């Protein structure tokens, strides 16, 4: 962000997705000039758990150039920051958080929002409001920080489909193949394959998903707009072997899938 500001950018699209942290975007804000202090005035260490010790949120040093920039939050997921569907419970376990860690992180994030709510009118969107908005829980809460700075949220896949002129590339296609590592309940929250399926369906073109695995039922897959779904786990049940030989397995699976699609013509 600072590099983009230094380069004179006046419209910045933040593409947020996977992250290794669950800190509510605290590190993101620190990178833009914010300071987060404990009761004794010491800078907090990095990471979400440290936010439980937050006493003072000093936002005076936030980069003044942010006021003249259009921020767009491109996020595939629409989760809020806090609660059962928030950043810590939904995405924390993917990053190695235990059940106890999830509770601690969610509590720390709630405290972070509370302290930011008392930080004055520096933020474009009040912290409590920003925390409840769709996409606030993206990337461990970077979505929250971006929204608080005034970012407008768009579905990440819509931004990418627009940028790549996806609709214009569908002409003459018999089918569209998309996919991701794990096609599961989180995919249904608005991740890329769902956006691709929606866009292709609007053009009347069947969409097939390819994934490492899926936890969805056939009914779920059909309801999501897919004509079908195939997984590497069909060919190799062992996750370790499947990941180690993903390239070759994907080639075999793709060939079988395309042959099946051609047979339907």
How many angstroms separate the CA atoms of 66 and 123, rounded?
Answer: 11
Q: Are 176 and 213 in contact (CB under 8 A)?
A: no
- For the residues 167-179, what does the mean pLDDT come to? 89
Same fold, 2-156 and 167-263: no
**DSSP single-letter state for residue 16:** E
Q: Are 180 and 211 in contact (CB under 8 A)?
A: yes
CATH class of the 2-156 domain in this structure: alpha beta
**Confidence at 120, pLDDT banded by 50, 70, 90:** low
How many angstroms separate the CA atoms of 79 and 189, rounded?
Answer: 8
What three-state secondary structure class fits 241? helix
- For the residues 13-41, what does the mean pLDDT come to? 92
How many angstroms separate the CA atoms of 179 and 40, rounded?
Answer: 50
Q: How many residues does the chain have?
A: 265
pLDDT in tens, 237-255: 998 998 999 999 999 999 9
Q: Are 220 and 101 in contact (CB under 8 A)?
A: no
CATH class of the 167-263 domain in this structure: alpha beta
* Position 129 pLDDT exceeds 90: yes
Dihedral sign computed on CA atoms, order 20, 23, 24, 26: negative
* Position 208 pLDDT exceeds 80: yes
Which neighbouring-strand residues pair with 75?
A: 16, 155
How many angstroms separate the CA atoms of 75 and 121, rounded?
Answer: 26
Largest Cα–Cα distance of the chain, in whole Å? 71
Alpha helices in the chain (DSSP H): 2-6, 26-31, 87-91, 99-117, 127-132, 142-148, 156-163, 166-169, 192-202, 218-223, 239-244, 246-263
Domain ranges of the chain: 2-156, 167-263
pLDDT in tens, 216-243: 889 989 998 899 899 999 888 998 998 9
CA 71 to each of CA 4, 163, 183: distance values in angstroms, whole numbers, following the listed order: 12, 16, 30
pLDDT in tens, 74-119: 998 889 999 999 999 999 998 889 999 999 999 999 999 999 998 7
The pLDDT score that the predictor gives to residue 183 is 86
Contacts of 154 (CB under 8 A, 6+ apart): 72, 73, 74, 75
Mean confidence (pLDDT) of the chain: 91
The residue with greater pLDDT, 27 or 263, is 27
How many angstroms separate the CA atoms of 127 and 227, rounded?
Answer: 42
How many angstroms separate the CA atoms of 54 and 72, rounded?
Answer: 28
The pLDDT score that the predictor gives to residue 185 is 81
- For the residues 130-158, what does the mean pLDDT come to? 94
Which neighbouring-strand residues pair with 11?
A: 70
pLDDT in tens, 36-77: 999 999 999 999 999 999 999 999 999 999 999 999 999 988
* Position 15 pLDDT exceeds 80: yes
Cα 223 to the center of its chain, rounded Å: 22
């Amino acid at each position: 962000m600072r590099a983009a500001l230094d380069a004179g950018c006046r419209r910045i699209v933040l593409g947020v997705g996977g992250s290794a942290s669950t800190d509510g975007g605290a590190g993101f804000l620190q990178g833009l000039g914010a300071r987060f202090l404990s009761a004794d005035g010491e800078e907090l260490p990095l990471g979400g758990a440290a936010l439980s010790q937050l006493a003072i949120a000093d936002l005076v040093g936030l980069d003044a150039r942010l006021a003249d920039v259009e921020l767009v939050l491109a996020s595939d997921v629409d989760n809020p920051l806090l609660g059962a569907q928030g950043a810590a419970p939904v995405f924390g376990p993917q990053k190695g958080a235990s059940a106890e860690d999830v509770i601690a992180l969610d509590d720390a994030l709630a405290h972070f929002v509370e302290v930011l709510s008392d930080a004055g009118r520096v933020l474009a969107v009040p912290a409590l409001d920003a925390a409840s908005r769709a996409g606030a829980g993206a990337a461990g809460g970077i979505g929250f920080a971006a929204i608080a700075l005034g970012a407008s949220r768009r579905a990440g896949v819509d931004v990418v489909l627009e940028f790549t002129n996806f609709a214009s590339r569908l002409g003459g296609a018999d089918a569209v193949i998309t996919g991701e590592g794990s096609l599961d309940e989180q995919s249904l929250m608005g991740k890329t394959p769902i956006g691709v399926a929606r866009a292709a369906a609007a053009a009347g073109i069947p969409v097939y998903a390819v994934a490492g695995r899926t936890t969805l039922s056939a009914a779920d897959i059909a309801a999501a707009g897919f004509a079908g779904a195939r997984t590497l786990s069909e060919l190799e049940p062992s996750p370790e072997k499947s990941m180690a030989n993903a390239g070759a397995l994907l080639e075999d699976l793709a060939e079988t899938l395309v042959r099946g699609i051609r047979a339907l013509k």
